[in-house]
Amino acid sequence: MEVIWDADSQIETWQEVTLVYNAALKQINTKLEILNDEFQHVHQYNPIEHIKSRIKTPESIVKKLKRHGYESNIENMVKYVNDIAGIRVICSFTSDIYRIAEMIRLQNDIRVIAVKDYIRNPKKSGYKSYHMLVTVPVFLSDRTVEAKVEIQIRTVAMDFWASLEHKINYKFEGNAPEHVKSELIECAEMVSKLDDRMQQLNEEIKAHGNVI
């Protein structure tokens, strides 16, 4: 993913990192809640089930920098780590994912830097999700900082699978036995089929004038 670094918006301490990225998360959270409320008002339907957000821990950031050969300092954190601030948006149906992504894309003050569509192009592990790297302006008292936020959009079923995969990778430190990896791939295929069937069921219900 492309890296964005504005030399005029330098963040000098970890306290500022936390301040700025927490503010960015609040802004995008609020935007998503408003969009969800508006969708309910217009279409009597909420595409968003729930939203999770987090700031990456300093330990995780340092590990990531070291893994890519960068010195551990604040400048490199902001410049090279794209997921310091992360938001996960959980939907009921696959169609909701692209609907939400488009709503985010149309926000005037959000700039989409990169997109990774792991739904149409899943990872070899079976992982599916829609990733957007965006920047949002954070207005401080003396300057404006363009903060990067990674947005992951996925269905409930995709999120359940990804949570299990994360736990397994943590347990085996990224080197799970082959039979476990094969089971995960099979489960990913089951999740995909479940999402497709639920989508078809919802479309059938919508055709009769109701929405789940």
Taking Cα atoms as reference points, which of 174, 175, 87, 176 lies closest to residue 132? 87
162, burial (CB in 10 Å: exposed 0-12, middle 13-18, buried 19+) = buried
**203 is known as an active-site residue:** no
Q: Which one from 150, 186, 203, 204 is the annotated catalytic residue?
A: 150
Q: Which residues are catalytic?
A: 150
